[in-house]
Structure 1
Amino acid sequence: MKDHSLLTVEGLWKSYHGHAVLRGIDLEVRPHEVVCLVGASGSGKSTLLRCVNLLETVDDGAIHLDGRDITDVRVDPDAVRKRMGVVFQAFNLFPHMTVLDNITLAPRKVHGTGRREAEQQALELLERFGLADKAKAYPDRLSGGQQQRVAIIRALAVRPLLMLLDEVTSALDPALVAEVLGVIRELKGSGMTMILTTHEMGFCREIADTVCFLDNGVLLEKAPPEEFFTDPKEPRTRQFLRSVLDARRI
C-alpha cells in the first residue's frame, strides 16, 4: 500500500459461473483524485465499483482503503460501506419518504447522528445543490435530474471518504444530464475523491484526473485525459474512441 494512495486495487479477479469478468485489475486512487472508468458495456466497469464497495466478493487480489485491506475476511463489509458514498444508475429513492427523510435516513440509522443535526446537514446540502425548495417533496414530484441529484446528496450526507458513481446520467433525458454533471463538477471542485463510470466522453475529458479503459475485464490503458483522448497507446483504445465518436455523428 502506497502511503499517498487512498485506494489501491491489486490483482483483482472476479468471475461469474466460471466466466472471468475482471482479470487482474490494478488501480490506484489518490486523495482528491477523480478517476473515470470507460469502456463498452460488459467490460467490467460496474463490477469493479461493486467490488470496491464489497457488494461483490472478490475471487483473488486485494483492495486497500485508507491503508486497510478491506478484502480481508475479518473485515465487516458494513463498516467499510459507511465510509463510501455510492450512486447507481437507478435513483433508488424511497418513494414513501420525503427528500429530507431520504437524505437523513442513513446518517440517523446507520451513523447515529441526531435528527436535528442530520436535518441541518441535509438542508445545507440541498441548498448547496439548488434543491432547498424540494426538502418536503416526494420523489415522484421531482424530475429525473432532480431525483439523481437527491441520490448524490443522500450519498454525500454520510460524509464519505470516497464516492462511487455508476453511470449516473444514463437513465436521464439529455436535457437533464447537464444538471447532474454540474453536481459532479462541484464535488470535484470541493476535493471529493471519486471513481465514476461514464459514457459521456466530453465530460470525462473535463472532469477526470485519470482515465482508465477497461476491455473484456482488463484495465488495458490508463492515462491523464489529454493523453488518453489525443494519443491513446493501445489499438483497442483507439477503436473504442472511434466507435464513440462515430455513434455521436449518427
Structure 2
Amino acid sequence: MSVLTIDGVWKEFHGHSVLRGIDLEVNPHEVVSLIGASGSGKSTLLRCVNLLETVDDGAIFLDGEEITDPRVNVDHVRRRLGIVFQAFNLFPHMTVLDNITLAPRQVHGVGRAAAEEQAHGLLARFGLADKARAYPDQLSGGQQQRVAIIRALATQPRLMLLDEVTSALDPELVVEVLGIIRELKESGMTMILTTHEMGFCRDISDTVCFLDGGVLVEKGPAEQIFTAPEHPRTREFLRSVLESGRF
C-alpha cells in the first residue's frame, strides 16, 4: 500500500485555481521531489497534505485513510506527518532541546526523560550534540534548519514534507542541510520535498514531478525527467534553470 495517495485534488484561492486535478502516489521509502517555477502550486500541495489548507475537490489518503474527510481528527493526522518550512519556525525563547522535545511531550505524551534521550540521540546523529542548551539565535541558519528537521523527526513521522528548506540559507550553509536530507533518504524515510536545487533533486529523488500552473505536467524517475523529459513545458523549464546557473 502507498503511504500517500493524492486523488484529483483541486484548490482555489479567490476564484483562482492553484491546484488543478493533482494525482500522485508516494510509496514507502520513496523520495518524491516537486519542481516548477514559483507559484506553480508546489508549496500549496504540501500544505494540503498537512491539512494546513482544505482541498476544494478530490481526496488525500494517508496509509489508506482519507485525511481530507471533514470528520477526520486533524491532530491525529498531523502526528504522522513531519513538515519543515523554509523559515525555521523555532521558538526563540526555548533551547534547542526544548524545541525538539515539545511535541513528543505535549502531543504524544512521551515522558521528559525519554523525549530528551531521543533528542540527544538525534542531535548527535546530525552533528549538533553540543547545541542542546543553545538558543536559536546562537545558531547559524544551517544549524537552525537542521534543528527544525530534527524537531520534525522527533515525532517519528510516517512521512516527511520539506518545503524549500534551503532557500533561506546562504549558499555555504546549503550543503549541511542537504546532507541531513541525504541521510534521511539512506535511513529509508519517506519524503516529499520541494526544491530549486536541481542537481541535488536529480541525485536524491526516486520520482520527480514537474508542476506548472497548478497542473502536474509530468512525473517520472529522476534520471528520465532530467535527461529525456517528454513534455515541451518540462524541457523549457529545465533549460531555463540550466541557463540561469541554478543547476
TM-score by length of 2: 0.99
Amino acid corresponding to residue 20 of structure 1 in structure 2 = S
Instruction: Find 1:225's aligned residue among 198, 222, 226.
Output: 222
1:50-199 pair list within 5 angstroms: 50-199=47-196
- Partners of 2:42 and 2:237 lie apart in 1 by 15
Residues 138-191 of structure 1, C-alpha deviation per residue, up to 9 Å, x if partnerless? 000000000000000000000000000000000000000000000000000000
Match of 2:33 in 1: 36
Instruction: Say which SS state the counterpart of residue 245 (structure 2) adopts.
Output: helix
The count of aligned residue pairs is 247
- Partners of 2:174 and 2:199 lie apart in 1 by 12
Residues 106-158 of structure 1, C-alpha deviation per residue, up to 9 Å, x if partnerless? 00001100000000000000000000000000000000000000000000000
1:6 corresponds to 2:7: no
Amino acid corresponding to residue 109 of structure 1 in structure 2 = Q
Amino acid corresponding to residue 84 of structure 2 in structure 1 = V
- Partners of 1:54 and 1:94 lie apart in 2 by 22
Percent identical among aligned pairs is: 78
- Partners of 1:203 and 1:148 lie apart in 2 by 17
- Partners of 2:9 and 2:86 lie apart in 1 by 24
- Partners of 1:59 and 1:202 lie apart in 2 by 34
Deviation at 1:78, TM superposition (A): 1.2
TM-score by length of 1: 0.98
Amino acid corresponding to residue 179 of structure 1 in structure 2 = E
Instruction: Say which SS state the counterpart of residue 39 (structure 2) adopts.
Output: coil
- Partners of 1:227 and 1:192 lie apart in 2 by 23
Residues 207-236 of structure 1, C-alpha deviation per residue, up to 9 Å, x if partnerless? 000000000000000010110000000010
